[in-house]
Every structure is written in C-alpha cells, then in structure tokens.
C-alpha cells in the first residue's frame, strides 16, 4: 500500500525497505490480497476461524476500506474492475495471538464485510502487495518480554488502558494474566461492569484470557454466561462467544444452551455461532445446525449447510434428513453442499442425483466430482469416462479433475 498525501493506494510495487528518521529499517507490517472466486473444492479441513477485526490500526479500518472500495474510484495501481465474489483481505504480519485481519467481498454489486467460505473455496490470486511501516524504535519480541517483566501490575494496567494499538493491547493482557491472574480477574470484573464500552471491551478481553488459562474457572465461566443473557452490544457479545468456545468442552448442557440462546438475537449471531461451534460434536450443537439448515434466511442456511457438509462426524439420521431436504434447493451452494455432505457420509442413494448432475458438469458445480470421489461407487466410472471424452480443449481444469476422480476409483 502506497501512501500518497492522504490517499491510500493498494499497490504491488512496495518491495524495497525504507528507513525512518531514526534510521531503523522498516518492517513489513500489513499485507493485502485480492482474489477471484472460481468454485468449490474438496477439503477435509474443519478448523477454527479467527474472528476478523474491524480496526487494524494506522487508519486501516473495515469501515474506511469499504467506503473507499464502494466509491467507484481507482485505489489500485493496476486496471481492476470487481466481479461477483471477488474478495479483498488486509492483515498484519504478526503471529498468533497478535495476528489480525479483515476481509471484504464483492457481492450483489457492492463491497461488504465477509469472505468466501473458508477451506472449501477455490480462488485465484488477482494481485497482492506489502505495506511498509516505519519503525521509530527497535522492537523485538525478546526485548518486549524482558521489559514487561520489569513492570508492576499497576504499570501494566496503565499501559493497557492508554495503548491505542490493539496488537500491543493483547501483549499487555497476556502479561497481566500470566503474571497477575488474581488481580487481573478483579480488575476485569470491575471494567466489565463499567458504563464505558471501551472499558468493558478491555475487561472482557481480560476475561477471555483468564477463561482460556482456566484461572478461577467456574467463577469466570459463570460471569461470562450471565453476561450472554444481559449484554446487548454486538462487539462485546462476539468477545463472549469467542471466550466461551475457547474451552467449550468445559460447558455443561445448560451452559451450552445459554450460549446457543444468542441465535434468538439476530441472523448475524446464528452465522457467528455456526462458524465458532462447528468443531464440537455435541447433540445440542448438532440439533442447532439442523435447525439452521431449515432457517428462512438464505445466508444462515448456506452457512449451516456448507459447514455441516464437511463435518462427517455429524452423521445422525436428523443430519442426513436435513441434507436430503436441500438436495433440490434452488440455491446452487446449498444444493451442491447438501449433495456432497450425503456422499461424504456414504449415503449411496445419492448416486442417482450425482449421475444427473454429472450431465451438466461445469466449473461452477465441480464440487459434484468431489462428491463422486467421496462416495467411491465404481459403477459410476463409465459415466465419468464418457463425460471426459465429451469435454473440449478449453475444459482443461475439468478434464484434470475428472482424470483424478477416475484414477481414484
């Protein structure tokens, strides 16, 4: 990203390092990536998705970037016109737990918060770039740790509450919880009860780290669950969800129900919960996903079906039934992932549906081939070979996929 006066330009040319007025070499602090959506791919990965940030510091906020991209002005150093499902991501260059990012997607004619489904989306890089940050003082992890160990509890809290950079905030929070857990709990409890939203965010972030570390576990857990019922702020509720799911195995059935009650707040929280809870095989969570697969909101239904389709250890009669309900859905994503989910679960009744879909194979429904491969029914091999012979030279991508599936049988 080049900074020219007050205008940000996403450029691909920022390769060389610059030096600040104090002659310390700059470091790559932010990177950006622009991709186009090709289709869906097979993936057995179901992992935790780090929740995106809305403010990366240095003026890089989600709101600002959306305003820029939707202004229909050129902010790239190359000719670019967005297409449906193009995705743009900005991230810092730090490792967990300091890593942060946000993504926007071009959908229905404008840029909006979001991204193509993780793990299963086949994308192509359009362009990417590096953003250089001038460093006014040398900052190394080892020096940081040494310096924090010399600070008292009150000094660490003062630095936390005055720090604007969220990356450094998390560093102070980690230092506080590691060195002063008892005092951190008392301070967090007080901050969470403040009338100031900023103070409450600091407090709940501290509570998250305390719960993750299992300090004073029952009391911290009880406090977080009570706040689920009483808190109304969307940003704080996101922190609460992220906190409780970090140790979801420690929750009792009634406590899981309390967490799932957030689905009543809005469709947004249904989607957040669907992303955060997909890794936990529990009857209540399976029932939650089945319910979302029948939701009236298409976005909620899509999220639930896509996540559920790859989670084959969620394999109950209720799950298979709801997938069958969506096999003939008019929405392409819902339909393809329902078919794939049944094939992954070795439901051989899906074979006739796959044979029908194979007749209309193209790049937009290539997930059908992954479904055929997962089902592993050798009787479909002649149909695959016949389809391969029908493809022309322009269908190289599909030809390669077909050959791969044929050879796997």
Contact (Cβ atoms closer than 8 angstroms) between residue 253 and residue 225: no
The CA distance from 65 to 68, in Å, is 5
Residue 184 is predicted with a pLDDT of 94
Residue 114 is predicted with a pLDDT of 85
Residue 127 is predicted with a pLDDT of 86
Residue 315 is predicted with a pLDDT of 93
Residue 73 is predicted with a pLDDT of 67
Residue 204 is predicted with a pLDDT of 94
Q: Is the previous residue joined to 97 through a cis bond, with omega within 30 degrees of 0?
A: yes
Residue 402 is predicted with a pLDDT of 86
Query: Has this prediction a pTM greater than 0.75?
Result: no
- 3-class SS string, the chain: CEEECCEEEECCCCCCCCECCCCCECEEEEEEEEEEEEEECCCCCCCCCCCCCCECCCCCEHHHHHHHHCCCCCCECCCCCCCCCCEEEEEECCCCCCCCEEEEEEECCEEEECCCCCCCEEEEEEEEEEEEECCCCCCCHHHHHHHHHCCCHHHHHHHHHHCCCHHHHHHHHHHHHHHCHHHHHHHHHHHHCCCCHHHHHHHHHHHHHHHHCCCCHHHHHHHHHHHHHHCCCHHHHHHHHHHHHCCHHHCCHHHHHHHHHHHHCCHHHHHHHHHHCCCCCCHHHHHHHHHHCCCCCHHHHHHHHHHHHCCCCCCCHHHHHHHHHCCCCCCHHHHHHHHHHHHHCCCHHHHHHHHHHHCCCCHHHCHHHHHHHHHCCHHHHHHHHHHHHHCCCCCHHHHHHHHHHHHHC
Per-residue pLDDT tens, the chain, 409 aa: give them: 444 434 566 777 644 443 333 333 344 467 889 998 877 665 544 444 567 888 887 677 888 888 888 876 667 777 888 888 899 998 887 766 667 889 999 987 888 888 887 766 778 888 888 765 443 333 444 344 445 567 888 988 988 888 877 767 888 888 899 899 999 999 999 999 999 999 999 999 999 999 988 999 999 999 999 999 899 999 899 999 988 988 888 899 999 999 999 999 999 999 999 988 988 889 999 999 999 999 999 999 999 999 899 888 899 999 999 999 999 999 988 999 999 999 999 999 999 999 999 888 877 778 888 899 999 999 999 998 988 888 887 778 788 888 888 888 8
């Amino acid at each position: 990203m080049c900074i020219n006066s007050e205008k940000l330009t996403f450029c691909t040319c920022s390769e060389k390092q610059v030096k600040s007025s104090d002659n310390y070499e700059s470091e790559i602090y932010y990177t950006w990536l622009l991709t186009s959506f090709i289709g869906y791919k097979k993936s057995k990965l179901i992992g935790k998705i780090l929740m995106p940030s809305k403010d990366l510091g240095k003026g890089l906020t989600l709101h600002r970037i959306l305003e820029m991209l939707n202004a229909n002005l050129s902010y790239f150093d190359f000719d670019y016109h967005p297409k449906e499902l193009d995705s743009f991501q900005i991230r810092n260059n730090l490792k967990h737990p300091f890593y942060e990012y946000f993504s926007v997607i071009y959908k229905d004619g404008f840029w909006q918060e979001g991204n193509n489904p993780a793990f299963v989306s086949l994308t192509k890089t359009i362009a990417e770039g590096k953003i250089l940050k001038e460093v006014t003082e040398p900052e190394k992890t080892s020096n940081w740790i040494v310096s924090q160990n010399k600070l008292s509890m009150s000094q660490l809290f003062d630095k936390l509450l005055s720090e604007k950079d969220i990356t450094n905030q998390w560093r102070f929070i980690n230092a506080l919880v590691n060195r002063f857990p008892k005092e951190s709990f008392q301070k967090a409890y007080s901050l969470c009860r403040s009338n100031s939203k900023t103070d409450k965010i600091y407090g709940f972030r501290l509570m998250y780290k305390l719960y993750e570390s299992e300090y004073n576990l029952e009391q911290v857990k009880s406090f977080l669950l009570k706040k689920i019922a009483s808190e109304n702020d969307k940003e704080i509720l996101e922190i609460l969800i992220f906190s409780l799911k970090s140790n979801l195995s420690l929750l009792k059935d009634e406590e899981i129900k309390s967490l799932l009650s957030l689905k009543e707040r809005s469709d947004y929280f249904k989607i957040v919960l669907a992303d955060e809870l997909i890794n936990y095989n529990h009857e209540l969570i399976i029932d939650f996903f089945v319910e979302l697969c029948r939701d009236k909101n298409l976005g909620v239904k899509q999220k639930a079906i896509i996540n559920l389709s790859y989670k084959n250890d969620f394999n109950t009669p209720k799950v298979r039934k709801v997938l069958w309900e969506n096999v003939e859905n008019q929405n392409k994503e819902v339909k393809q992932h329902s078919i794939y989910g049944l094939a992954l679960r070795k439901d051989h009744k899906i074979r006739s549906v796959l044979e029908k879909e194979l007749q209309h194979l193209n790049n937009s429904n290539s997930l059908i081939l992954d479904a055929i491969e997962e089902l592993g029914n050798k009787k479909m091999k002649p149909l695959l070979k016949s389809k391969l012979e029908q493809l022309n030279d322009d269908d190289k991508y599909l030809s390669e996929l077909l050959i791969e599936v044929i050879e796997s049988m």
